[in-house]
Structure 1
């Protein structure tokens, strides 16, 4: 994979925002953590804060070979059904995106289905889903690099159209199982502490899910802290694509709002590959999945929303960017 240079934060712009908030009359502006979020946004973009966010949700889709073991409450066919919902605008993720005045870009990075009949889906399939990682690596290094490249291309596509904030969405039945394996492998944490209920599975499926992660780690022996090795052995194309989006956006000084446990696993991989890209991440919400807090601690990200949400798909980020826009409005109007 080509070497990517990620610029440093503009600390002068950050300080100017902090000073601007400090000069405001209190309590007219006393926004707590939101003030620092605006300062971080200024440091990321390195220039004047925008009056309005132009946001794009990049919804990366990929299927997982381990879904056949029944690790989810839903069959793999739901991946395609949900993508149909995104295209019709009837999924919860697209309803919330409309509320946030964000546009949605759906990308097939590696589903197990032919989506060529859906012309609005960006057709960038690396493979027809990952391999069953209990039997060997989920993908080859070449496939992993291709998945990352898909994400970088999608980031460039959006930024070239003038979007100044990207946020992550994902779809792929079985992806929280892969996420649990990523977290256990990258951080060296026991699967008992990373495998959650994902889509809301019962105790029986939970037992299966945990065993699948244990078996996958035992079979592949991913190297702790080696993001590329972890991605190849237990990751998904949705993870690879979103990691690429984060890396690609950071390269061009565009912030990414990371949403949910699966996208945070992708962010962890992006951080492992290019640590500097962490400076360009914002965290939308705290997932109820047990591995989420562990990843946020490593990434030093603070969630904007804590509503006990389980769903990813960019839903929390759609709420969070409304809050970010409100904080930008306060600064832009009162700092004058």
Structure 2
């Protein structure tokens, strides 16, 4: 069966001081997900290939473990575990920083757990984006990286191609998010149940949070996707996207849909609703304010689009999945 399935490689970074429990825990989590996926006997589900990448001085990381040795291919994701010893800003090896940027430019999703988000901040990839980090690092993080919109009270910020988490043990939720993206919410839920770890029910009941296809290999379209993620697609037009890609609008439409399986307007709707879901779960802003924040001038249009994508009205979604007491619903 494995020989017939596509392969999605997930790289786990090992740097000085990295929490090895997280490295091996993620490896086991993905292994359990593979076993559960194999029980479905579906060639449509990819095999998760787990690799470990060791940081050696100022050189790019090197692969030191491969769960399913095969010809080298682009990484689907790179996960940066936390460090119990802490991590000092400004000490990231240049070879590692360059490598992270290269992986992101090739379409990999990057995920930082706890202080692992500092490595993403050092790379500059989080500039202009939202992120979270461990509460003990929040003050210095905000001071050192003013270009990043720090959400220190949010346990996880899933910004599509960049994911950051605040908790030291949040590597399990990060791993389950990727299982959710690659193998589907039911397998992610089954994996969490087998491991007896918590996992948000919102994905299984309302569909996964928006996970854009980034591994299509179209560099021009990937550039637009990264731009849309950084801006939140709050004020964009087809003309602006085509210009960003350096194409005529008709050519852009064709290539964008071929790469992402969505029309640009649908893509932007999913991106906005994904950000709205996060705000409904973790903030107490009014629904009208959330609609405006994610780019909708008409709250009614936002409510209709949100329900079309998730199956729930924003107020019902917050009631079911929100973690903020006394959240506003108007």
Q: Provide the TM-score with structure 1 as the length reference.
A: 0.34
**Which is bigger in relative contact order (C-alpha 8 A, separation at least 6)?**
1
Q: Provide the TM-score with structure 2 as the length reference.
A: 0.34
